[in-house]
Structures are given as structure tokens and as C-alpha cells.
Amino acid sequence: QVQLVESGGGSVQAGGSLRLSCAVTGYAYSYYWGWFRQAPGKEREGVAVILLDGRTVYAESVEGRFTISKDNAKNTLDMQLNSLKPEDTAKYYCAADRWAVNGPLTPRYNYWGQGTQVNVSS
């Protein structure tokens, strides 16, 4: 049973940076590892995913600003958020699954963390 616990959210001004981390336990197979977000009144959306072969995919809205990485020694899934914009304000979730149903950025994963809030002010 995969367990995920996020940390690192907070409040920053536009243009600032944050680093999110997700502590991972309980997995024994290759997984898709991803970060998703959900803003109030909106559907959850994919932000960045590490594919089974280690390649990464990003939502167009964050390409070039966010970087996802996995530290296998520390068992964490991290994401560096740079050049933040007010529209990045959302609750961010890490997620994992052995399969990516309907594509890696589609939020149909089996394992989810509880989320961490990111607020970006203008």
C-alpha cells in the first residue's frame, strides 16, 4: 500500500518560488509519480508526472517554471515551483499508480496524498 504525505506549501508573492515534497512509503513496483492541483471551483488537473521510463511530462501552463524530481535515496517526490503566478494558487497533491489511465496527466491515480496549499498573491 503506497502512502504519500506532502509538505512545503505556503504563501508567496508572484514571481517567487516554493519547493514541494512528498514522502513516499510502501511501494515495491515501478510507478507513475505525479503532482496534481485543484483550485477552488475547478477540477483537479495534472501538473507534472514522472513516467515509468523516467521521462517527465508537464502541463503546458507550468512548462519551464516547475520541475519534478524523485529522490530514491530519500524516498521523496519533489517539485520546484519557480516564477509563480496567482493562477498557480491551488491545493497540490502528489499521486502514484502503476498505470496511467487516460494518460499520465489525467488525475485517475489510485494513491493520493492529503494535499498541501499553495497561495500566490499578485
Q: What would the pLDDT profile of 55-106 be if each residue is shown by its tens digit?
A: 999 999 999 999 999 999 999 999 999 999 999 999 999 999 999 888 999 9
Percent of the chain with pLDDT over 70: 99
- For residue 28, pLDDT beyond 70: no
Give me the mean pLDDT over the 102-120 stretch: 96
C-alpha triplet 69, 72, 77: angle, nearest 5°: 40
pLDDT of residue 101: 85
Cα dihedral 21→13→86→122 (10° resolution): 170
Q: Distance (Å, rounded) from C-alpha 115 to C-alpha 101?
A: 21
Q: How far apart are the first and last CA of the chain?
A: 40
**3-class DSSP state for residue 78?**
strand
Q: How confident is the model at residue 29 (pLDDT cuts 50, 70, 90)?
A: confident
* Torsion, Cα of 53, 17, 47, 66 (10° steps): -40
